[in-house]
Amino acid sequence: MSNTETISKERIYFPGIASSAFEHPLDRAALEALRRTPGLDRLLKMLSDWGMERFLRAAYTGDALRVSPRQCSRLYRDLREACAVLDVTEPELYITQNPHPHISFFGMHRHTIVITTAMVDLLSEEERLAVIGRELGHIKAEHMLYRTMALLIAEILANTSRTILLPGMILTEAMLYALLVWFRRSELTADRAGLLIAQDGNICVGALLKGVAGSQKLMDDLNIEEFVKQADVLDDLEEDILSLYYKFSLVRWQTHPFPTYRAREIKEWEKSEIYQKILRGEYARENTEAGKRVCTACAATISNTTFRFCPECGAPLDPVHVQHDIRRN
């Protein structure tokens, strides 16, 4: 029996788990604020019409390697294992040659994860499972639409900033800022998903640490506890208005929070009663009534009861007023 198979038998699975079970409260609050942004519904429709997903899919199909049972089968087993733990429909997985360790996802109609060769080389098998789990957390929480929109607006601003009139510039930057606030907070939800799959906070933090300062020559000399403590040091830098402004300036256009903050959040959630209850099987399941809601524009099934727009095509949805069924396995 392979080592992967042994690990699989010891891992806890979460059949039917809903994203609300591990959704970070800052993610939820930022998303609610984002949905109240004027003009967002029109932008969603534009994004769907432009067909950016088809462009990306053609690019990766032609210039990357699609992982399958017969292509990079060990990486495919990682994907299949992570999907089974979090109860997520299996997305496509591509590996691309790149010296920068990175993993991301795209796709509102067909979900796709892309991992670089540097990331595969840098991480252990368990760490690789955790970072794949993070991307599955985004898919499970249906983050695709708003994240894609944030990246698209950032690209538009970068290429057309000199040609947009001032009022349009202000409006576009305001919308991008709101999107990026949520974008960063959505990473905290994804980190929790990675922990549910790895089921060891040190594995998740170790993957973050290697992404920050990964070096094959220093791999055996990295200290997870010291890395987490850096978040407390960063907090101490908020002693005056100028320091707060510097921190704001550093992060306001970033897509991810500071890695040290993420590391501390992971370790704190690992100790929480909510996490322990999930491990015992006490978690919110996807609601069968919500799962019956179908988008009239693209026929996608929407399981998230809070969504006002379809995460696949951006069309408006009728509200659903139901509660998740919470019970023990």
Residue 50: domain span: 3-271
241 pLDDT more than 70: yes
Chain segment 169-221, per-residue pLDDT in tens: 666 677 777 778 888 999 999 999 999 999 999 999 999 999 888 777 777 88
Query: What is the reported pTM?
Result: 0.78
pLDDT at residue 323 tops 50 = no
Does 135 score more than 90 pLDDT?
Answer: yes
Report the C-alpha gap between 259 and 262 in whole angstroms.
Answer: 5
Judged against a pLDDT cut of 50, whether residue 322 lies above it is answered with no
Q: What total of structural domains would you count in the chain?
A: 1
In 3D, which of 35, 133, 24, 118 has the Cα closest to residue 78?
133
Closest CA to 209 of 290, 264, 144: 264
In a domain, 317, yes or no: no
| Domain assignment of residue 51, yes or no | yes
Q: Does residue 240 surpass a pLDDT of 50?
A: yes
**pLDDT tens digit string along 6-39?**
344 489 999 999 999 999 999 888 877 777 766 6
Sheet holding 92-96, edge to edge: 65-66, 92-96, 112-116, 103-106
Query: Mean of the pLDDT values across residues 48-76?
Result: 82
- The answer as to whether 329 is a domain residue is no
Answer whether residue 9 is part of any domain: yes
Can you tell me the distance from the alpha carbon of 22 to that of 242, in angstroms, rounded to the nearest whole number?
Answer: 35
Q: Which of 51-65, 71-85, 106-120, 174-188 has the lowest mean pLDDT?
A: 51-65
Residue 90 CA to residue 131 CA, distance in Å, equals: 15
> Which of the 8 DSSP states describes residue 65?
E
pLDDT band at 324 (very low <50, low <70, confident <90, very high): very low
Residue 289 within any structural domain of the chain? no
Report yes or no on 139 lying in a domain: yes
Write out the two tokens for 219. Answer: 């791999």
Write out pLDDT tens, residues 78-89: 999 999 999 999
Percent of all residues in the chain with a pLDDT value above 70, rounded to a whole number = 77
Q: Classify 281 in phi/psi space as left (phi over 0), alpha (psi -120 to 50) or beta.
A: left
Residue 11 contacts residue 199 (beta carbons within 8 Å): yes
Are 147 and 186 in contact by the 8 Å Cβ rule? The answer is: yes
- Distances in Å between the alpha carbon of 149 and those of 71, 101, 302? 31, 23, 19
Residue 93 domain-assigned (yes or no): yes
pLDDT band (50, 70, 90) for residue 318: confident
- Across the strands, what pairs with 283? 327
Residues 142, 145, 148, CA angle at the centre, nearest 5°? 125
**What pLDDT was estimated at residue 168?**
57
Contact 130, 203 (CB under 8 A): yes
Is 311 inside a domain boundary? no
Q: Which of 143 and 2 is assigned the larger pLDDT?
A: 143
